[in-house]
């Protein structure tokens, strides 16, 4: 009745190849069930397609170039938006982190503007920029700006006070103090913030394309729905999922590698 | 949370006033075209008119209702499923990689699939809001239940506490901080998906209203809608932060 073995001892019994394959079991099962369901019960459906048909649709999109075009558009908008958001947020976050007066006086404005949902700006960006890269970029920049601002500010706040004392003792100019003491010291935390920014940028760019902007992967997904092409919906959805997962995993690896190189244990 | 002294409070209010003044100046001096940027008083008038006699009040209620119902469904489902998966090491080993894989997928990317499945109905938007907002709650709950100290499990087995009671008495309190953090993120997701859903499914609500205002170049109405959406985000977030503060009081020394 009572198990005396500690919980971790039970895991050791499982052979390594089972452990290796285990993460794939559920997705494989789901794909098989979906394939069977779409071919038998839902064979007339406008919404459900077998995964094999989605794979064909994916191959078609890859060979006619629409896959590359849409993917490049979305990734470009996400990346440029993140860069713009970071270039605005990081200097401001440094300022708010270093100066208590600046933080206190901007506190109210930041707290009022930050909760505006990024998608609420889609119509404004449409009016100002029309459709295309710039409106999407602007919304991604807005969406990534706030978390980057807050995280940069808190990274500066959590600096060792001794570092700032050293800077004061050396009588460094504010510019020199920021560039050669503060910025290197917050680098590992800054990369964590940027990694989160990558995830937000991807989600927001696809969302803008689904909501309004007739470009990129989100629009390709909408187009598949409008042309009653369930295989296309499934193919684009899976591609967005795989790409998002791969980019996030890559960003995490990069961030950890950089943190290790800078002599910090990975947070 | 730190308290601001009087001077700092004045500075905070001053900066906000300066930004509104800059907005006023930019719109009156036509630095920015009136097509994009209404004057502050026009946006304010549009907000008051819309709330007093127009449709804005109804749209706000519709959006808030959709967001709240979706968020509640997401929280209930997320906590229940998360507790089930998190309590069992085997379930975690088999399911968690799949769940982690789906996590980065934008919730709004499910809208086209949901339209194909359910059509352009209110239920469709609600389903996507619930599903999208469920994810942070689900994964945080799994994490919270998985990190219950193993010794507590041994104690519970020794005392022959049934698994259901163990989940409620040991798992839930341990997972509460994670669950509440997940629910807070879920509320943000719910608002975003609600707005996008209203935009593309033409459901009555603020998302649809601001899109229509932009299409017909009614900048004042557009800004009034965006202000209301910001207000919804601000109020819901603050309420939840206050609730979190109260519910987790027992954890602080």
Q: Is the pLDDT of residue A10 over 60?
A: no
Q: Give the residue from chain A lying closest to B158, CA to CA.
A: A2
What is the pLDDT, as a whole number, of residue A3? Answer: 44
Residue A128: which CATH number?
1.10.3720.10
Tokens of A176: 């020199």
Q: Any chain A CB within 8 A of the CB of B225?
A: yes
* Number of structural domains chain A divides into: 1
Which of B93, B109, B195 is facing A119, going by the closest CB pair?
B195
Confidence of residue B4 (pLDDT cuts 50, 70, 90): low
Q: Is residue A29 part of a domain?
A: no
Which of B89, B117, B225 is facing A7, going by the closest CB pair?
B89
ipTM of the complex: 0.89
Determine the average pLDDT of the residues in B136-154: 90
Q: Are B60 and B232 in contact (CB under 8 A)?
A: yes
DSSP B48-112: HHHHHTSSHHHHHHHHHHHHHHHHHHHHHHHHHHHHHHHH-HHHHHHHHHHHHHHTTS-GGGHHH
A186-224 pLDDT, tens digit per residue, is 988 999 999 999 999 999 999 999 988 899 999 999 999
Q: Is residue A169 part of a domain?
A: yes
Whole-prediction pTM? 0.89
Lowest mean pLDDT among A105-109, A141-145, B178-182: A105-109
Q: Where are the domains of chain B?
A: 1-32, 35-251
B 204-223 residues inside an 8 A Cβ radius of A? 206-207, 210-211, 213-215, 217, 219, 222-223
Cβ distance of B219 and A225 shorter than 8 Å: no
- The CATH class for the domain spanning B35-251 reads mainly alpha
Q: Is residue A140 part of a domain?
A: yes
Domain limits for position A147: 53-261
What is the pLDDT, as a whole number, of residue A12? Answer: 55
Spatial separation of the C-alpha atoms in residues B242 and B33, rounded to whole Å: 41
Share of chain A above pLDDT 70, in %: 93
A41-68 pLDDT, tens digit per residue, is 887 777 888 999 999 999 999 999 999 9
What is the pLDDT, as a whole number, of residue B165? Answer: 86
B10-48 pLDDT, tens digit per residue, is 888 999 999 999 999 998 888 888 888 899 999 999 999
Of B235, B231, B192, B224, whose CA–CA distance to B56 is shortest? B224
Shortest distance, CA B53 to any CA of chain A (angstroms): 23
Q: Is the pLDDT of residue A2 over 50?
A: no
Ordered alpha helix ranges (H), chain B: 6-28, 40-52, 56-87, 89-102, 110-118, 122-146, 150-158, 163-166, 172-201, 206-215, 219-247
Confidence of residue B3 (pLDDT cuts 50, 70, 90): low
What is the pLDDT, as a whole number, of residue B206? Answer: 94
Q: Give the residue from chain A lying closest to B217, CA to CA.
A: A127
Confidence of residue A267 (pLDDT cuts 50, 70, 90): very low
Q: Is the pLDDT of residue B138 over 90?
A: yes
Q: Is the pLDDT of residue A121 over 80?
A: yes
Q: Give the residue from chain A lying closest to B153, CA to CA.
A: A7
A-chain CB neighbours of B102 within 8 Å are 241
Share of chain A above pLDDT 90, in %: 56
Tokens of B93: 């080993």
What is the pLDDT, as a whole number, of residue A263? Answer: 67
A161-170 pLDDT, tens digit per residue, is 888 888 888 8
Q: Is the pLDDT of residue A5 over 50?
A: no
């Amino acid at each position: 009745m009572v198990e005396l073995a500690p919980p971790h001892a039970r895991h050791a019994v499982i052979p390594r190849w089972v452990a290796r394959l285990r993460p794939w079991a559920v997705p494989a099962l789901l794909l098989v069930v979906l394939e069977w369901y779409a071919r038998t019960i839902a064979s007339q459906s406008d919404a459900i397609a077998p995964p094999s048909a989605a794979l064909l649709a994916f191959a078609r999109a890859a060979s006619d170039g629409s896959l590359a075009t849409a993917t490049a558009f979305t990734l470009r908008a996400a990346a440029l938006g993140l860069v713009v958001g970071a270039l605005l947020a990081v200097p401001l976050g440094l300022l708010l982190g270093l100066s208590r007066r600046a933080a206190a006086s901007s506190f109210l404005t930041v707290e009022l503007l930050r909760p505006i949902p990024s998608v609420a700006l889609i119509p404004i960006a449409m009016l100002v920029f029309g459709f295309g890269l710039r409106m999407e970029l602007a919304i991604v920049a807005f969406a990534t700006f706030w978390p980057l601002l807050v995280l940069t500010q808190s990274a500066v706040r959590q600096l060792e006070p001794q570092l700032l004392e050293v800077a004061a003792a050396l009588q460094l100019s504010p510019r020199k103090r920021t560039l050669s003491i503060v910025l290197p010291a917050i680098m590992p935390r800054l990369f964590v913030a940027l990694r989160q920014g990558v995830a937000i940028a991807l989600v927001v760019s696809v969302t803008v394309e689904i909501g309004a902007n007739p470009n990129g992967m989100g629009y390709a997904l909408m187009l598949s729905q409008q042309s009653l092409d369930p295989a296309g919906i499934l193919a684009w959805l899976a591609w967005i999922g795989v790409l998002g997962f791969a980019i996030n995993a890559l960003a995490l690896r990069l961030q950890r590698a950089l943190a290790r190189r800078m002599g910090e244990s990975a947070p | 949370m730190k308290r601001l002294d009087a001077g700092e409070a004045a500075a905070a209010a001053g900066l906000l006033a300066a930004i509104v003044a800059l907005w006023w100046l930019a719109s009156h001096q036509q630095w920015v075209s009136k097509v994009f940027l209404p004057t502050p008083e026009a946006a304010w008038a549009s907000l008051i008119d819309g709330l007093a006699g127009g449709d804005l009040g109804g749209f706000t209620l519709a959006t808030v209702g959709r967001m709240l119902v979706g968020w509640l469904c997401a929280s209930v489902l997320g906590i229940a499923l998360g507790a089930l998966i998190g309590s069992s090491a085997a379930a975690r080993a088999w399911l968690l990689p799949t769940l982690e894989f789906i996590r980065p997928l934008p919730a709004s990317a499910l809208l086209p699939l949901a339209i194909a499945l359910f059509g352009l109905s209110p239920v469709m938007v609600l389903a996507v809001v619930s599903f999208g907002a469920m994810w942070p709650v689900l994964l945080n709950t799994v994490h919270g239940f998985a990190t219950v100290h193993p010794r507590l499990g041994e104690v519970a087995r020794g005392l022959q506490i049934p698994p259901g009671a163990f989940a409620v008495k040991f798992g839930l309190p341990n997972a509460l901080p994670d669950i509440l953090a997940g629910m807070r993120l879920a509320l943000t997701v719910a608002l975003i998906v609600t707005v996008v859903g209203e935009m593309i499914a033409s459901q009555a609500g603020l998302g649809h209203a601001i899109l229509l205002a932009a299409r017909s170049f009614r900048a004042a109405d557009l800004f009034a809608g965006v202000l209301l959406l910001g207000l919804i985000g601000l109020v819901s977030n603050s309420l939840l932060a206050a609730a979190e503060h109260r519910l987790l009081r027992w954890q602080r020394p």
